[in-house]
Structure 1
Amino acid sequence: MPSSSPSSATGAIVICRRVCSPPEPMPWRPVWLRRVGLCLALLLWGSGAGAALQLDIGRIVSGGATARGVTLTIDQARGQIRIAHLDVVGQRFNNLHLECPRLSLADGRIRCRDGRLRGLPALADARLDLDYATASQTGELDIRFAAGGRLVLRSGKALGAQFTRLPVADLARFWAPAGAWQPTGTLSGQARLDAGNLEIKATLDAGGFADASGNHAAEAVVAELRLTADTRKTGWRWRAEARWEAGGLFWDPVFVSPVVTIRAEGQHEGPHLDVEELRIEAPGVPDFRAHGRVDLDAWRLVEGDLSLQGADLAVVVPQFVLPWVAPAQTERWRVAGGADLSLAWRDGALQAAELILDQAGFAYLGQRFRVGPLSGRVPWRRDAPEAGLLRVDGLHWQQLDFSPFVLNLTVDRDRVLFDQARLPVLDGALIVDGLALARTDAGWRGEGALFMEPVSMRALTAALDLPEMAGTLSAAMPGLVVTPQRVGLEGALVIALFDGYVQATGVEVIDPFGLLPRLQANVTAEHLDLAQLTETFSFGAISGFLDVELAHLQMAAWRPVRFEATVRSTPGDYPRRISQRAVEHITALGGAGAAAAIQRSFLRFFNDFGYREIGLSCRLVRGVCQMEGLDGPGPDDAPFAIVRGGGIPALNVIGYNRRVDWEEFIARVKRAVAGDTAPVIK
């Protein structure tokens, strides 16, 4: 046998390069493989045990994978395989370096044990076993990941893969943008690539992801995926089916839960992904279809159409709509009915949309506010206004039921404009005039005006379960502004009541749909008929008129926390009489020590008395009402006049306690109206 001198090794290498190096391009063919076997024999014959040997191979093609610039180097029992470029399914990997601490060449097989692959960060910590038969062109690459997953690649006529609990985080290293999403979970399944045909079946277990902000995340996801693709043409022709069975997805502010089935097919060419058909089946979404084109470089929808038929609003609205329009009140709404939705996307922007409602219904806080059944059509186009219509067969607020009415509307880009509408209620109507809803940077905003046609107070108070009142109610609310955070009146709210009027200015409700709504307002009332007022609330009988001023009113959860209130009899010439029962109630409001004084004790037997003026003030701060009478402020222990007598017999009502707990004051009012407080008459 020849010696293993360096000169012998050099001669063997020269012969091998001449015999084994195929002209470009050259696939890995059986005839040439026999030449490779001869070359390896020459290497072993010429090298002996002490020389480093090298084999250069131009190109290897196997099962849809192509390797170029392949170099095999052998140094005793160790070896290295370098690949300049490896192309697999449209992906190119450069400068790959497989180190084999245990390399053997025998019986036409190349075996590598406990190898390490350099050049792929995803496999930096993995161990590899390679077994390749040169004659049959079959081989197996077994990759064992440090985290416990395993990937077995088999080559031959087809390229196959079997993977078990493959770490998604390691796979994400093959695509740099995926790393920012911190993917988790494991993949198990199999894949096959045969002459340009790709098929993948995989199961994701405990999957998840999260972006840096935490506004987009998923966890505990269990899903199945099947993908087939034909890569023989320019680009890919693909078909995919996925079933999401467990876990949760949060895409701020929407939380999505399973079970969801997705089927899609299309093609991928260059920077574009064409989705020719996409179908989704999910709870509340029986028929969702879409198609379109996505620019993968910019990750942007270029054009597409979406159709959603027969959506169950009871499922879809709480999950996908309320988190956007009323995130703090999602649990307070109840929704029912069906809807159809269509969208058209062109030139990278939404161009048209249409919403069709079928017997839809909405309720807030139980049944305090309820709309429906509601049916109609709301269209939208980017380049032109569109007319729509809503037919409301039911509207309920508190205990008021409105008769059916129709809303005609126009959708103009980011605004919805309503024609003047008349909403019949009781024996009158609520007029909605100039109402416009607009989408702004701060969210949606509504503006308009409301007017109340005269409504019988007897019918209204009966419907609201209030003490029966006489007369009629009419109101004007111009300059009404509504947002999810605020309801405000930029003008004045005027209500005709008790033959006088009540006017509110600076009305503003903060967080109207939240857990703690807060109201601010200034209220004045003039020329209220005391006879109607006292009759309504069973306060006794007082003739005359009353003026009220309620300044700096602040309420939290609809309970007053601050105000400055003043009640005065209206100036003017009119009959002024007050019944003994009314005297009793006014005296009770004055608190402990309050007294009614008349000129002579025998006049206690009179049913009513004349008075000249009535006046009482309360400034509420921190739960305490600081009271004043007709003469204005004074020391806390100084008496104050509430009623000043006039005529015969003359009557005065005097209070002595200027600081009264507000809850106690309300209790006094209730006791007075209930008639369980007797006056002190002197």
Structure 2
Amino acid sequence: MLRLLMGLSLPMLWAVALSAWPGQGEARTLNARIARVATAVARLEQVQVRLAWPDGAAAGELELRAARVVAPELGYRFQDVAWRCPLRRDGRGGWRCDGELRGQGGAPLRLALELGPASTDARLSRGASAIALQRAAATPDLTRIDLTQVPLAWTQALAAQAWSAGRIKSGALDGRLDIAAPARAPLRIGGDLRVAGAGFDTPDGLIAGEKLGAALRVDSELGALTRVRLGGRLLDGEMLFGNAYIALHGKPVELDVQAESAPGQGWRLPRIVWRDAGALNASGSAALRGDASIDALDLQLDSPDLAPLRERYLSGFLGLAGLAKLELSGGLDAQLSLRGGDLSQARAQLREVRLRDEQGRFRFDGLDGSLAYSDAAPRESELSWRSGALYGLEFGATRLPFSSDNGEFRLQRAISFPMLGGRVGADNLRLRPPAGGKGLDLRFGLNLDKLDVAQLSKALDWPAFTGELSGRIPQAHYADERLELDGGLAMQLFGGTVEVSSLAMERPFGVAPTLSSDLALRDIDLESLTGVFGFGSITGRLYGRIEQLRLVDWQPTAFDAELHTEKTHGVRQRISQRAVQDLSSVGDSSFVGSLQDKLIGFFDDFGYSRLGIACKLADEVCLMGGLGAAKAGPDGRPGFTIVGGAGVPHLDVVGYNHRVDWPTLLERMEAVGKGDVKPVVK
């Protein structure tokens, strides 16, 4: 823009110099010092003019210098500006001069001026980039500027007047601008521009654009109140505004934006129109703070088809939530209002919306109805779905009546829907969207009534468990990507009970979801349990605990487990030869008997008095234990008893490896389940 300012200002200096020039044929040198030269656009300070034309020469030399060039309304300030050129008459009563223009800290440019009786023309260039200026004497307040491959970086200071944090990185401008600079009215700039390869960002990286192309019409008024109207089409490129990522993918979008701002204030946008045919239409108004963040926003949205929105508008938000591949379909109308940067009012009307997570974590079909939110007066709405699934667990239709006021959603009554042969219910749901620097906060109660564990096992690819799952979670609380559940669940499995407590989840739908809980096992029928896992037969009743269980992406990474049998009246305690071998394989154990080892092979099973095993998992290593200490092995390693024998033959199973690699242990358990471990009698 130094180039543009000089194009607007130097003709005045040139006119001052030439007005004192002697007639043809006289040899003379003219030097002038001017304290200040003012135009409608810029002022020049401490100006020096030197004109020299040797007697009889075909051309003279013109040199202009200015200590400072300032355009306060455009935001430009330059120092030590100098232009030197050979001066010639054009034969039509005018003058021509073409030479190098330099300014402090900038690369030189070429400035060519033609000053005639009826017009002034200037051309500033560097390589293929050029700014051409035309001004007619009949309309001295009007200047026309033609732009050819002008680097957008030249407009940095002008852009900073509207957006101080913005940094222009790349791009070029082509087009034509008309500048009207009347003496007693604001400066006006208008014209058609074409932008190619534009890039910008902010120091914090929260706002950015890359490879932007646009065909725009600009109308602006620069004065005590700056007004700008920008219309046309965005042709291509990518933009980031906080978490909102917009990717046009070569599909043009029509826009029309009106904006105005007073010095030292942010921007008001009384008109915003965005038309993305077949995907999203938006209209409304906004107010921006000085850092371009949103202070107020009123917006109406219409999407006849949600499918394109993921790639074009929602990938930033969905990626943060771990839903980058969420599939969307259906239609949506919405209105929203923000005040002070926080959501104030909102309403969304859904039309046969379908949400499907590509990773199979959830699915909703036939979402219909409305959702209304208010931070003040009450508003009511109702949403429904036809069917859905959560981690492969199918559930049925329901309706959710909501009310909202004071910045909170509430479920008006308890709901329930069919799932896994039983019912799932929710109540006391309260949701607060992000506001006041706090993130989303969700609370609800949960009821599970007689869910079929067999269906659950099949859906989660578990062994063929059977039984029922029931329980009550008085309050579940989701905040800061963590879900905590009070209360507990109880599963009736294998004739006994598995109680789950201290449930919590981190990033339930994000990357690497984490689950933690404590489990208590009571009165489990070992014969049924070992049969399901393909383990050798063991009879008896099992008790124990699995505390501080932690699953990352549904794989165990830590727990402290202890399982043992307890004598129960009328229940035999027997362990098969196959089970002994499987225990020895999994736990890297040995068994010893009171008879000669060769006689043990004649027995199919053995009586036992106690059975117990413990494992504390950390850093992919299981610290093993059992019922208690056992005598050292042949190599002197201390042992721990896993099975304490009873009767004849008397057989004990003793473990000697206190540290077992967890991946290796899993491989052994998988081999046992497949029957790949063959009985071997020692």
TM-score, normalised on structure 1?
0.76
- 1:567 paired with 2:557, answer no
- Partner residue of 2:115 out of 132, 148, 153: 132
The CA distance in 2 between the partners of 1:116 and 1:617, in whole Å, is 84
The CA distance in 1 between the partners of 2:464 and 2:78, in whole Å, is 91
Tell me if the contact between 2:238 and 2:246 (Cα under 8 Å) persists in the aligned partners: yes
Q: Match of 1:355?
A: 348
Tell me if the contact between 2:22 and 2:28 (Cα under 8 Å) persists in the aligned partners: no
The CA distance in 2 between the partners of 1:349 and 1:522, in whole Å, is 39
Q: Give the stretch that moved more between structures: 397-406 or 608-617.
A: 608-617
SS at match of 2:308: helix
Tell me if the contact between 1:85 and 1:93 (Cα under 8 Å) persists in the aligned partners: no
The CA distance in 2 between the partners of 1:347 and 1:669, in whole Å, is 58
Q: Match of 1:141?
A: 122
Q: Match of 1:387?
A: 380
Q: Match of 2:135?
A: 155
> For the structure 1 residues 90 and 108, does the alpha-carbon distance in structure 2 shift closer, same or farther, using more than 3 Å as the test?
farther
Q: Match of 1:44?
A: 22
1:117-196 matches, within 5 Å, as 125-134=108-117, 136=118, 138-145=119-126, 148-156=128-136, 157=139, 158-174=142-158, 176-177=160-161, 181-193=167-179
- Identity between Structure 1 and Structure 2 (%): 22
Q: Match of 2:235?
A: 245
Tell me if the contact between 1:123 and 1:170 (Cα under 8 Å) persists in the aligned partners: no
The CA distance in 2 between the partners of 1:600 and 1:86, in whole Å, is 105
> For the structure 1 residues 433 and 75, does the alpha-carbon distance in structure 2 shift closer, same or farther, using more than 3 Å as the test?
same
Q: Give the stretch that moved more between structures: 667-676 or 301-310.
A: 667-676
Q: Give the stretch that moved more between structures: 337-346 or 149-158.
A: 337-346
Letter in 1 for 2:52: Q
- Partner residue of 1:111 out of 87, 92, 96: 96
Q: Match of 1:548?
A: 544
Q: Match of 2:496?
A: 500
After superposition, give the CA deviation of every residue in 1:82-104 in whole Å (9 maximum; x if it has no partner): 99999999769899988554345
The CA distance in 2 between the partners of 1:339 and 1:396, in whole Å, is 22
Q: Structure 1 residue 669: deviation in Å?
A: 4.3
After superposition, give the CA deviation of every residue in 1:440-487 in whole Å (9 maximum; x if it has no partner): 746434333322112233444455554444442213334434356434
Q: Structure 1 residue 309: deviation in Å?
A: 0.5
- 1:447 paired with 2:443, answer yes
Q: Give the stretch that moved more between structures: 152-161 or 482-491.
A: 482-491
Letter in 2 for 1:616: I
Q: Give the stretch that moved more between structures: 157-166 or 75-84.
A: 75-84
Tell me if the contact between 2:506 and 2:515 (Cα under 8 Å) persists in the aligned partners: yes
Any stretches of 5+ residues in structure 2 without a counterpart? 1-14, 54-60, 183-187
Tell me if the contact between 1:596 and 1:679 (Cα under 8 Å) persists in the aligned partners: no
SS at match of 1:331: coil
> For the structure 1 residues 102 and 70, does the alpha-carbon distance in structure 2 shift closer, same or farther, using more than 3 Å as the test?
farther
Letter in 2 for 1:448: F
Q: Match of 1:615?
A: 612
Q: Structure 1 residue 653: deviation in Å?
A: 4.0
Tell me if the contact between 1:393 and 1:404 (Cα under 8 Å) persists in the aligned partners: yes
> For the structure 1 residues 71 and 452, does the alpha-carbon distance in structure 2 shift closer, same or farther, using more than 3 Å as the test?
closer
- 1:429 paired with 2:414, answer no
> For the structure 1 residues 328 and 109, does the alpha-carbon distance in structure 2 shift closer, same or farther, using more than 3 Å as the test?
same
- Partner residue of 1:658 out of 641, 656, 663: 656
SS at match of 1:343: strand
Q: Structure 1 residue 497: deviation in Å?
A: 3.2
After superposition, give the CA deviation of every residue in 1:276-334 in whole Å (9 maximum; x if it has no partner): 54322337634222235667x67576765311112543332455445336527243433
The CA distance in 1 between the partners of 2:593 and 2:370, in whole Å, is 67
Letter in 2 for 1:436: R
> For the structure 1 residues 610 and 665, does the alpha-carbon distance in structure 2 shift closer, same or farther, using more than 3 Å as the test?
same
SS at match of 2:332: strand
The CA distance in 2 between the partners of 1:68 and 1:593, in whole Å, is 97
- Partner residue of 2:246 out of 248, 253, 256: 256
1:271-286 matches, within 5 Å, as 275=269, 277-282=271-276, 285-286=279-280
Letter in 1 for 2:212: V
The CA distance in 2 between the partners of 1:71 and 1:240, in whole Å, is 37
> For the structure 1 residues 71 and 675, does the alpha-carbon distance in structure 2 shift closer, same or farther, using more than 3 Å as the test?
closer
Q: Match of 2:196?
A: 205
> For the structure 1 residues 633 and 384, does the alpha-carbon distance in structure 2 shift closer, same or farther, using more than 3 Å as the test?
farther
The CA distance in 2 between the partners of 1:617 and 1:72, in whole Å, is 93
Letter in 1 for 2:203: A
Task: Tell me the C-alpha RMSD between the 2 structures.
Answer: 4.8
The CA distance in 2 between the partners of 1:619 and 1:549, in whole Å, is 12
Q: Match of 1:344?
A: 337
The CA distance in 1 between the partners of 2:624 and 2:286, in whole Å, is 72
| Larger-gyration structure (1/2) | 1
SS at match of 1:314: coil
The CA distance in 1 between the partners of 2:665 and 2:38, in whole Å, is 96
Number of residues of Structure 1 aligned to a counterpart in Structure 2 = 633
SS at match of 1:313: coil
SS at match of 1:324: helix
Q: Structure 1 residue 153: deviation in Å?
A: 0.6
- 1:291 paired with 2:263, answer no
Tell me if the contact between 1:417 and 1:437 (Cα under 8 Å) persists in the aligned partners: yes
SS at match of 2:212: strand
Q: Match of 2:572?
A: 577
Tell me if the contact between 1:351 and 1:382 (Cα under 8 Å) persists in the aligned partners: yes
SS at match of 1:584: helix
SS at match of 2:203: coil
Tell me if the contact between 1:260 and 1:281 (Cα under 8 Å) persists in the aligned partners: no
Tell me if the contact between 1:590 and 1:654 (Cα under 8 Å) persists in the aligned partners: no
The CA distance in 1 between the partners of 2:401 and 2:360, in whole Å, is 26
Q: Structure 1 residue 209: deviation in Å?
A: 1.8
Any stretches of 5+ residues in structure 1 without a counterpart? 1-35
> For the structure 1 residues 184 and 51, does the alpha-carbon distance in structure 2 shift closer, same or farther, using more than 3 Å as the test?
same
Tell me if the contact between 1:264 and 1:276 (Cα under 8 Å) persists in the aligned partners: no
SS at match of 1:383: coil
> For the structure 1 residues 208 and 652, does the alpha-carbon distance in structure 2 shift closer, same or farther, using more than 3 Å as the test?
same
The CA distance in 2 between the partners of 1:626 and 1:266, in whole Å, is 69
The CA distance in 1 between the partners of 2:478 and 2:622, in whole Å, is 33
The CA distance in 1 between the partners of 2:262 and 2:296, in whole Å, is 16
Tell me if the contact between 1:264 and 1:275 (Cα under 8 Å) persists in the aligned partners: no
Q: Structure 1 residue 652: deviation in Å?
A: 4.3
SS at match of 1:129: strand
The CA distance in 2 between the partners of 1:374 and 1:104, in whole Å, is 78
- 1:480 paired with 2:510, answer no
